[in-house]
Amino acid sequence: MAQAKENNPTPRAKAPAAPKAAAANGTAPAGEKRTRPTTRRPYYNRRPRRAQQPKEAATPIHIYPLGGLGEVGKNMTVYECNGDMIIVDCGLVFPDSEMFGVDMVIPDFTFVVQNKDKIKGLLITHGHEDHIGSIPYLLQKISLPVYGTRLTCGLIKNKLEEFGLAGKTKFVEIVPRQKIKLGCFTVEPIHVNHSIPDAVAFAIDSPAGTIIQTGDFKIDYTPLACGVTDLSTLSEYGQRGVLALLSDSTNAERPGFTATEQKVAAGVRSLFARARNKRIIIATFASNIYRVQQIIDLAVEDGRKVAFSGRSMVNNTAMAQELGYMHIPEGTLISVDELNQYPPEQVVLVTTGSQGEPLSALSRMASCSHRQVRVGPGDFIIISANPIPGNEKSVTKIVNGLLLLGAEVIYESMYDVHVSGHACQEEQKLMLTLTKPKYFLPVHGEYKQLKKHALTAASLGIPTSNILIAENGSNVILSQDEMKLGEPVTAGAVMVDGLGVGDVGNVVLRDRKHLSEDGLVIIVATVDSKTGKVLAGPDLVSRGFVYVRENESLMDGAQSIVENALERCVDEHVRDWNSVKTRVREALSSYIYRRTKRSPMILPILMEV
């Protein structure tokens, strides 16, 4: 054997097979040379043994929701893998009744700005405000290419023109089934039904696996246009393997299927017949191109002219016509200034204000402050939208105002004039069944809706350990091996008030709430800077507190309290003006509460001479 190793490096011919008996016990019969068992490879023909490699860790992907969880609106999600980032959606939410004077609420962009060099692009699922409304504010901070379908890009451009950003932003129009390469991500848009054309979901492929984010969707088997949600592509991804699904939870509490948009057409047609001799005013979302087109078609059938009121309604319909998403027959469209030139039964006015927005066209009609439209008994008003959570009181206020003016008002709870654009439970189940995700994250909804959607997923067999109800600012880390939470990132709400972005915080809102409840009392006095003696005043001015002429004794007493407090400060040699103001404020506050059980905001102003 040693010789073979030295002089004959090639393998020898195999020795004759040993008898079965010998093979059984491994011994050679008498008179024969013992040989090695032929089943063992000779050492000179063995492959070199490979060094054992350590198991390579699975590539993770990080998901950072910056909005849209625990709330309806403000949708924004950041994905990160191998040092690359992409953003999906950048929306706003309307303020609630406690946010006095606030126009809108947008996500906190701190985390995005800190990582701006990693971000490859901003992808938009569709053109509703809760998905595009914050884009101008983000692009004021960082420059990003924006990816969206044709209509979505058109709606965003309209918004950016108001901020002077349209010419400075790169837009990339995307088409369903055509993939986009963004760093280590490959993104495929997938057509879905929603209440606006050109809505898509995104299949986001990365080294960690494929994630599907549905955006807002429903499954309408008889849509007005654009075809049914692309179930076959979703199924293909499910067959290949989906790491995680992030799915719309808005209607997670509603059983069954969402009604088709065709149902609205039938409902509104019957209302047109009821309003045969009246002027029709219909309020709906300016971005609901399908709904507006239905109204135009019904108006043409009924021989009526159509006018639009509200800046966003005028802009969006003009853009939709330009891009070919809306068709208005020649001679049908008139301006709102021309309404009174036609008999009431020959016109339809399509307006904004379905959510009770204070400055919307419908709100101005209800308060008799609309310059061109005066509502009265000859008007038939249809509100073709559901109130967004938090807007119910505003909508009710407008409905009451219109009814007091003598108009007949129809809204969703009375008639089939609106259907949701979001999937109900059975559609959510179908999405889960088709995509077969390993992990599931319910998104786009308040906590109760996220919770219900999670329970639906669990009922379909997804392990509860693979379902996560995240929060805004969560750092969700996914790999083929596990799902876990990392260190959270900065996320929150930034309030926009006029041109001010982020300069209204909780302290300002608290002061505004205080002023709205109990009013303001201002104390003005001129004092000697050296001695502290009062040279003029003190004078008291109140706003929103009491009617002074009917409460002169109260105000006289308040003035005496202030005078006494200032005199005590002089006697006690108090020269720190902040301390003086505090003493005056406390003394007057105690007096006013004792007399009225109210606590107005008290603002002392001391002018030194």
As annotated, the active-site residues are 248, 422
Separation between Cα atoms, residue 384 and residue 268, nearest integer Å: 9
Is 103 a known ligand-binding residue?
Answer: yes
The phi, psi pair for 484, rounded to 5°, reads: -150, 170
The DSSP secondary structure of 412-445, one letter per residue, reads TTTSS----SS--HHHHHHHHHHH-EEEEEEESB
Is 573 a known ligand-binding residue?
Answer: no
Find all residues with CB under 8 Å of 348, minimum gap 6, and list them: 279, 280, 281, 282, 295, 299, 302, 304, 305, 306, 307
Separation between Cα atoms, residue 398 and residue 450, nearest integer Å: 31
Q: How many CA atoms lie within 13 A of 110 on its CB side?
A: 10
Q: Which two tokens stand for residue 23?
A: 């093979």
DSSP state, residue 203:
E
Separation between Cα atoms, residue 348 and residue 380, nearest integer Å: 10
Separation between Cα atoms, residue 495 and residue 101, nearest integer Å: 10
Sole residue written with tokens 């990392």 = 486
- Helix ranges (H only) for 533-576 are 552-571
Q: Please name the helix (run of DSSP H) or strand (run of DSSP E) that holds residue 64, with its range, or none.
A: strand 61-67
The phi, psi pair for 358, rounded to 5°, reads: -60, -35
Is 420 a known ligand-binding residue?
Answer: yes
Find all residues with CB under 8 Å of 182, minimum gap 6, and list them: 84, 86, 120, 121
Is 288 a known ligand-binding residue?
Answer: yes
Q: Which two tokens stand for residue 357?
A: 């927005």
Is 444 a known ligand-binding residue?
Answer: yes
Residues facing residue 148 across a β-bridge: 173
Is 318 a known ligand-binding residue?
Answer: no
Sole residue written with tokens 């009174």 = 340
Separation between Cα atoms, residue 279 and residue 281, nearest integer Å: 7
End-to-end CA distance of the chain: 116
Closest to 116 in 3D by CA, of 92, 90, 84, 153: 84
Q: Which two tokens stand for residue 90?
A: 């950048």
Is 131 a known ligand-binding residue?
Answer: yes
Is 126 a known ligand-binding residue?
Answer: yes
Is 544 a known ligand-binding residue?
Answer: no
Peptide bond connecting 223 to the previous residue in cis, omega within 30 degrees of 0? no
Find all residues with CB under 8 Å of 532, minimum gap 6, and list them: 566, 569, 570, 573, 574, 575, 580
Is 571 a known ligand-binding residue?
Answer: no
Is 475 a known ligand-binding residue?
Answer: no
* Secondary structure of residue 496 in the 3-state scheme: strand
Is 128 a known ligand-binding residue?
Answer: yes
Separation between Cα atoms, residue 361 and residue 363, nearest integer Å: 5
Give CA separation, 255 vs 162, 187, 214, 271, 467, in Å. Answer: 41, 32, 19, 28, 21
Pairing of strands 84-88, 76-81: antiparallel
Is 418 a known ligand-binding residue?
Answer: yes
Are 124 and 90 a contacting pair, CB within 8 Å?
A: yes
Task: Detail the residues annotated as belonging to a binding site for Ca(2+).
Answer: 101, 103, 497
Residues at the binding site for Zn(2+) are: 126, 128, 130-131, 194, 216, 444
Binding site residue list for substrate: 286-288, 418-422
| Residue set of the binding site | 101, 103, 126, 128, 130-131, 194, 216, 286-288, 418-422, 444, 497
